[in-house]
A and B are shown apart, each in its own frame.
Chain A
Amino acid sequence: MKKVQFKSNYSQYFFLAPQLLILLIFLYWPIIQTFKDAFTMQDAFGFGSQFAGFDNFLFIFSDPSYFTAFKFTIIYSFVITVITGSIGLLLAVQANKVMHGKSAYKTLLIWPYAIAPAVVGVMANYFFSERYGLLHHLFNNLWGFNWYENVFDAYIYVIIAGSWKQISANFIFFLAGLQAIQKTVIEASIIDCKSNIRRFWTITFPLLMPTTFFLIIINITYAFFDTFGIIDTTTIGAPGSETKTLVYKAYIDGFKGLDLGSAGAQSIMMMIIVLVITIFQFRYIEGKIHYN
C-alpha cells in the first residue's frame, strides 16, 4: 500500500466494483456450489439430494482409482518440472553466451510457448500413432512400444507431449533471469574462479534461485491444470486410467459420470493441494533465497 493515498468515500468502490462483480458471479458462486456439491449426496436419477457430511470424501479416499490419479499427477509434475527445467536452463545458459545468432535462437526457442496444450496433444497424437507415428516406430523398434497396453509406455507418451512446449517457458524465464545478473558480478567471479562449470554452480546458479523457484511453481501448476488438453487429446487416461491427472479424473467423474458429489470433493482436495504448495513456497522457499 502507498503511504500517500486518495481519501474518498466512494470512488474506490467504483474502481473495485467491476472486478469484484465478475469474481462474485463467475468465481465465488461456482465455488460455493462446489462446496455444496461436495457435502451432498445425489441419488442416481438426480431427483433428490441430501446432506452427506464427509461421505463423498470418504468415498474418494477409498477409491483406488483416485490414488492412481494422485500418484500419476505427482510423478507427472515432478518429471515435467525436472525435464523442462533442466533443458530450459541448459539452453538459456548457451543462448546467453553465444555472440552470433542470439536473437534467432531466442525467437525459434520461444515460439512453441504460444501453442495451446491441446494443439500440442493433437500433434503428439500423430507422432505416436501406429500408422504414421515416427516416435511410435522408433520406440517400437527399440523395445516393442505399445502405449494402450503398457503403463510405462503411456507415461513416456504423455511426458514427451507434456514437456515439449513447457521447455520454451523455462527457457524464456531462465534467459531473462541470466540477463538480469549484473555483468560486474560475473567479471569479478572470472578473476576468482577459472573453471566455467564451477563458476556456474557457485555464482550464477545461486543468483538464479528466485527464477528457479518461480519456475518450479509455474511447472507444477502447468502439470496439474494445463495438461488437461494434452491428456484429452492423447491417451484419454489409457491404458486403464493410469494417465489420468487429478483434474482430468474430476472432469470425467463430474461431467461424464455425472457424479457431482465426488467431483466436488475432488475439486476441494485439489484446492487444498494448491494451497499447501503455495504456503510452502511462501514460508520455506521465499525466506531462504537471496534476491539480488
Chain B
Amino acid sequence: MTKYISSTINHFILSIGLLIMVVPIWIIFASSTHSSLFINTNGLQFFLGDNFIDNYSRVLFKQSGFFNEITALKMFLNSFVMATGIATLSVITSLMAAYGLVYFKVKYATFIFWLIFITLLVPLELRIMPSYIVMSKLNLVNTFAGLILPISASAIATFFFRQFYKSIPDELLEAAKLDGTNSWSFFIDFLIPLSKTMIAAVFIFMFVFGYNQYLWPLIMTTSEQYWTVVMGLKTMYGSISDRFAFVIMSMIPPVIIIIFLQKLFIQGIFQNK
C-alpha cells in the first residue's frame, strides 16, 4: 500500500515537471497552426488549428529578412553548414591535439598544456569585439569560415578526449610498440576505433553548440545570405503565426539529434568518470 502511494507521488511530481517542460512548446506549436488574425483576436492557443501546412510552407519558402533576400530554408542550410563545420573541425583538431599531449614526450609540455587549456576560461562572449576586428582584418566577415573558425577555437573537446585517452591502459601502447606500430598507425588503427563513442558524443555536443550560436552570427553576418536560423529568429519579420512556425522549426534539428542520440551522448560524457 505504501509502495502504491509513494509511486503515485513519484508520477505526480514527474507529471508536473513534464507540464513545465512540454506545455510551453505545445502552446507555441498549437498557436502556429492558426491564422494570424485568429491569434491576434484570441491570443495563444491550446488546441490545433487548420493552417498548419499554409503557415509552415509559407515560412519555409517565402523571401524574408530586412531586404527580403533570404528564405527560412536557406537559413536552415546555413545553420547546418555552420554546425557541421564547427563539429567536424573541433573533433579532428581536438582528437589530434589530445593525442599529441597524452602519448608523446613533448618539449615544454606544461607550457603547451596551459596554452591549450587556459582558453577554457575565455569563451567567445568575452572576446567578441576584438574577434570581430580580427575577422575583418582577415577578410572573413560574411563567410562560412568566419562563422566556423572562432567557435572551433575551443579546448572543451580536447579536454574530453584527453580524459578518455588517459583512461586507456598503458598496455595497449606497449603491445602495439612490440609489434612495431608507429605513432601514425597507432592513432588511426587503435585509438580512433576505440574512441568511436566519445567522438560521436563530442560531435553531437559541438553540433548542437554550433547550431545554437546566436551572438557570433549576429555580428559576423551583415549580408542576409549568411543568416542562420537562431539569429534569424529575432530579425525575421512576418505575421505572428509565421513567427510561431519559425520558432518551432528552429528547434527541430537539435531536438531530434538529442532525443535520438541521448544514450550515446550521455554514455560518451560519462565514460570518463
Contact = CB atoms under 8 A, between A and B. Distances in A.
A59 to B, nearest CB: 17
A108 B18 contact: yes
A261 B3 CA distance: 64
Contact of A91 (B14, B28, B212, B213): B14
Contacts of A26: 131, 134, 149-150, 152-153
Contacts of B262: 106-107, 110
A38 to B, nearest CB: 10
A246 to B, nearest CB: 10
Q: Quick one: which of B104, B116, B170 has the most chain A CB within 10 A?
A: B104
Interface in A110-128: 110-119, 122-123, 126-127
Interface residues of B, number: 95
A2 B173 contact: yes
A94 B126 contact: no
Interface string B177-221: 100000110110000000000000000000010011111000100
A167 to B, nearest CB: 7
Contact of B233 (A3, A29, A119): A119
B92 A18 contact: yes
A163 B231 CA distance: 21
A34 interface: yes
A11 B22 contact: no
A111 B258 contact: yes
Nearest to B23: A134
Contacts of B1: none
B259 interface: yes
Given A118-B230, A171-B17, 19 more contacts: A11-B104, A15-B104, A18-B96, A20-B97, A22-B149, A23-B153, A87-B20, A95-B14, A114-B257, A115-B254, A116-B211, A118-B231, A119-B251, A122-B233, A131-B40, A232-B234, A251-B129, A251-B215, A271-B121
B167 to A, nearest CB: 11
A4 B105 CA distance: 9
Given A5-B104, A229-B215, A180 B27 contact: no
A62 interface: no
B153 A27 contact: yes
Q: Is the interface of A mostly helix, strand, loop or mixed?
A: helix
B18 A33 contact: no
Contacts of A232: 214-215, 234
B250 A116 contact: yes
Contacts of B155: 19, 23
A247 B259 CA distance: 31
Given A167-B21, A180-B270, A271 B126 contact: yes
B264 interface: no
B189 to A, nearest CB: 14
A180 B269 CA distance: 13
A16 B129 contact: no
A8 B125 contact: no
Interface in B221-259: 230-231, 233-234, 240, 243-244, 247, 250-251, 254-255, 257-259
Q: Quick one: which of A6, A22, A232 has the most chain B CB within 10 A?
A: A6
Interface string B155-178: 100100000001000100110010
19 contacts: A7-B105, A18-B96, A19-B155, A25-B138, A25-B149, A87-B17, A91-B14, A98-B14, A108-B18, A108-B22, A114-B254, A116-B254, A119-B212, A119-B230, A133-B44, A164-B20, A167-B20, A232-B215, A274-B122
